[in-house]
Structure 1
Amino acid sequence: MATDRMPKEAKPCHGRCFRLILLLSIACSGNGHVQRSWVQRRMLAVLPLAIGSPSAMAFENRIFLAKGPKTPGPQPAGVGKGQIQECGVAPNCFSSTSSDEHYLKPWSYPSGGKAQAMADLEKVIKLYPPGQQDVDGGGFQIQNLDEKGYVYVQFESLKRGYIDDVEFLVKPTNGDSGEVLVRSASRLGYLDLGVNAKRLNWLSQKLRDLGWTAPKITAELFPRYVSENR
């Protein structure tokens, strides 16, 4: 689930940076081999804490860099392969190919064919604001956008780095119009605290503004999901 409570601001390194500066001063003033070796070992220990480790990095459009290790979870088998899969049993997923309570009616585009539908999707995704409604603060990245009509995007939570996988598959049905299969799912956890719904509702609203038919996720349509993720 790509959510976590956002701190008001990122904290500077303060004491860690001071220790690093102190060690650098000792290194510059020391003449003995033993002293230099000790300083080098201490600097190697402090440096990752002062500047942040690569594991703490999020996507470039994150709202800011949060400290701490990330837990993205393994990419599920089949995700990113050009097809839309069903959901599992947990209430942390929506899919247009599911046949149970996770079923999300495909979105429809009015005209322009597959090319215009792909352009609309790309435009709206790139407009998505990380951190909206306190979700996806770690940003997002389009992983795949191919001419066959498949779009795959990863969204990340701010602090823990949980990754959610979001996929779209454009399927022309009648002339220039058609439908889009949608899937949004959390990799880890049983609940998603409403994250997938908040994300899809933001995207669907922007597409409705462009003339699409993309129903909002509500308690009436998804009672179990909303009830368990309050």
Structure 2
Amino acid sequence: NFGLKPNIGLQVRKLDRKGKKSDGPVLRSCQEQVIPRCFSTTEDFFREKKIQTKLEPWKIPAGMSPEEATKQLTELIESYPPGHDGVDAGGFRLLQTLPTYLYGQFASFIGLISDVEFAVMENGDVQVRSALRSMAPDAFGNVQTPPDSLLNAKRLNWFSERLRKMGWAAPEITEQTHPEYFAENMKAGLKTVGLEFMPEREEDGKPEYW
């Protein structure tokens, strides 16, 4: 797998350089990612360049327990079609399925890994994080990670569209909600991660990374 292992899960996290911490456990932010390849419901206080990464928490339907919501979300993830809209053609796997927390890895056609997390809280909020990993350093120690070709937006939008039909509040990621993310990807020409590495013929098959 390309990239570095993530710092995942719900934790009390540092929110600024002065040591301020979150009020309770939260997922990791997109801290210090100056390239548009991450979304998180935890605000990024470390950014050196203004790239929009913040998502509003999703919300489960009224009357549904966090455990029921997590089960519904698990079933939806298991139905996810790799390669839809030119992303995640390398497949995916769920690595942690806890009563109110899910963690999975999604792979592009060339094996770039995205870490995706969902945490359903007692108040009905759903913390979300979807982030393309940094690529491994080259022989000179340089890390050259491209923009994500909109794959994080496309992936989360696939889930949120279906969850809204189930009564969830899960806003779509659009050029209106995150203009800088879309602008930076367009400036980069949507290269490298997604579309151009899709197999052109059905008989080419799908790569297996796990």
Q: Does 1:72 align with 2:18?
A: no
Please report how far the alpha carbon of residue 75 of structure 1 lies from its aligned counterpart in structure 2 after TM superposition: 1.1
TM-score by structure 2 length? 0.69
CA distance, structure 2, for counterparts of residue 86 and residue 227 of structure 1? 21
Please report how far the alpha carbon of residue 72 of structure 1 lies from its aligned counterpart in structure 2 after TM superposition: 2.2
CA distance, structure 1, for counterparts of residue 91 and residue 36 of structure 2? 23
Distance 1:163 1:80, change over 3 A: farther
C-alpha contact (below 8 Å) 1:80/1:144 kept by paired residues:
no
Q: Which one of 63, 83, 89 corresponds to residue 137 of structure 1?
A: 89
Q: Deviations over 1:89-126 (max 9, x none)?
A: 32110000114621100100113211111111101101
Please report how far the alpha carbon of residue 165 of structure 1 lies from its aligned counterpart in structure 2 after TM superposition: 0.3
Please report how far the alpha carbon of residue 81 of structure 1 lies from its aligned counterpart in structure 2 after TM superposition: 6.3
Runs of 4+ in 1 over 2 A off after TM superposition: 80-83
- How high is the sequence identity, in percent, across the aligned residues? 42
Q: Which one of 24, 28, 31 corresponds to residue 85 of structure 1?
A: 28
Please report how far the alpha carbon of residue 163 of structure 1 lies from its aligned counterpart in structure 2 after TM superposition: 0.4
CA distance, structure 2, for counterparts of residue 170 and residue 137 of structure 1? 27
CA distance, structure 1, for counterparts of residue 133 and residue 37 of structure 2? 9
Q: Which one of 114, 121, 125 corresponds to residue 73 of structure 2?
A: 121
Give the alignment's Cα RMSD to 1 decimal: 1.5
Distance 1:215 1:157, change over 3 A: same
Q: Which aligned pairs between 1:218-229 and structure 2 lie closer than 5 A?
A: 218-229=174-185
SS of the aligned residue for 1:172 comes to coil
Q: Does 1:163 align with 2:109?
A: no
C-alpha contact (below 8 Å) 1:92/1:196 kept by paired residues:
yes
CA distance, structure 2, for counterparts of residue 150 and residue 84 of structure 1? 11
Greater relative CO, 1 or 2 (CA 8 Å, sep 6+): 1
Q: Which one of 120, 127, 135 corresponds to residue 181 of structure 1?
A: 127
CA distance, structure 2, for counterparts of residue 206 and residue 217 of structure 1? 14
Distance 1:165 1:214, change over 3 A: same
Amino acid paired to 1:73? G
C-alpha contact (below 8 Å) 1:150/1:167 kept by paired residues:
yes
Structure 2 equivalent of residue 59 of structure 1: none
Structure 1 residues not aligned, in runs of 5+: 1-70
Q: Deviations over 1:128-151 (max 9, x none)?
A: 10000110001000010112x111
CA distance, structure 1, for counterparts of residue 90 and residue 146 of structure 2? 20
CA distance, structure 1, for counterparts of residue 87 and residue 9 of structure 2? 22
Choose 1 or 2 for highest CA Rg. Answer: 1
Structure 2 equivalent of residue 154 of structure 1: 105
TM-score by structure 1 length? 0.63
SS of the aligned residue for 1:229 comes to helix
